[in-house]
Structure 1
Amino acid sequence: MNRHIFALQQVARRTISSSGRRLENQVPQKQKMFQEDNGMPIHLKGGVSDALLYRLTMALTVMGSGYVVYELVKAAFPQKKV
């Protein structure tokens, strides 16, 4: 029984550690890009995807704040029952 568990552990360890795809370390390039002083805010240095995510976040924040104000006003002035 222990032999089967030991064999299973070896197979699992082998499949995890020996992936066929090697990835290049991109941290130095990203550090260089984000640390250069070019006057851009850090949250926009990632390119188009960062700009889109920023705009989407701002739009959701503004819409959410507007909805909260709307609900507060609606709660402050309840409808009269007929």
Structure 2
Amino acid sequence: MYRHIAAIHQLSRRTLTSSARRQVENKVAQKQKLFQENNGIPVHLKGGAGDAILYRTTMGLTILGTVFVIYELVKAALPHKKE
């Protein structure tokens, strides 16, 4: 009985772990060099095209949200006349 439990325990452990581990390259030094470089680009855009797309999307949504809030405030402040 104990052998069966030990075998199941060992089998479950093998499925969760692997003997061949992938080595991950440390890219911190490269990123520090990129972001600390004085090239006139704002830090929020130094990551490349993905950062630029994310920035523009965020700014667009912010502007649309602001316009919508102002529209709703004007609509609430100036109600329609009932005829």
TM bracket (short chain): 0.7 to 0.9
- Residue 21 of structure 1 and its aligned partner are, at CA, apart by 2.8
Runs of 4+ deviating beyond 6 Å: none
- Residue 11 of structure 1 and its aligned partner are, at CA, apart by 1.4
2:64 counterpart of 1:44: no
Q: Take 1:67 and 1:21, find their aligned partners in 2: how far apart are those partners? A: 49
* Residue ranges of structure 1 left out of the alignment (5+ in a row): none
* CA distance 1:63–1:37, shift in 2 (3 Å): same
- Structure of larger gyration radius: 2
* Residue ranges of structure 2 left out of the alignment (5+ in a row): none
* CA distance 1:78–1:36, shift in 2 (3 Å): same
Q: State the number of aligned residues.
A: 79
Q: TM-score, normalised by structure 2?
A: 0.76
Partner of 1:11: 13
* CA distance 1:78–1:11, shift in 2 (3 Å): same
Q: Equivalences for 1:1-82 in 2 at 5 Å? A: 4=5, 7=9, 11=13, 15=17, 20-82=21-83
Q: TM-score, normalised by structure 1?
A: 0.77
Q: Take 1:45 and 1:35, find their aligned partners in 2: how far apart are those partners? A: 10
The residue identity in structure 2 corresponding to 1:31 is Q
Q: Take 2:52 and 2:19, find their aligned partners in 1: how far apart are those partners? A: 37
